[in-house]
Amino acid sequence: MPTTRPRHTLTETDEIARALDDAALAWPEFRGDRGALLRKLVEAGHASVHVDGGVRELLAGAAGAATGAYPRDARATLLDEWPE
């Protein structure tokens, strides 16, 4: 179908095939149209990360949430436990 919109090519890997198979269970009306299922997955994925202020605001709000959860030398201690 002619369009002036950008097109994207996506190879159906094993993981994508499983996602599409699962999507067909969620949206059985699109079971025979893998392109439509892919669009539904993209829409659902976007809805899962979209918030009023956008995903960047969500991430900025969570930044530093784990500050102080680990001692300053936690990384070094873990690395010492696994000598090369």
What does each of the 84 residues of the chain score in pLDDT, given as a tens digit? Answer: 788 999 889 999 999 999 999 999 999 999 999 999 999 999 998 887 776 767 777 788 888 888 888 888 888 888 888 876
Q: How far is residue 59's CA from residue 62's CA, in Å, rounded to a whole number?
A: 5
**Residue 84 is which amino acid?**
E
Give the number of other Cβ atoms within 10 Å of residue 61's Cβ.
Answer: 11
Please count the structural domains in the chain: 1
The reply to whether 41 falls in a domain is yes
For 42, the domain range is 10-63
The reply to whether 50 falls in a domain is yes
The reply to whether 79 falls in a domain is no
The reply to whether 1 falls in a domain is no
The reply to whether 38 falls in a domain is yes
Residue 33 three-state SS = coil
The reply to whether 76 falls in a domain is no
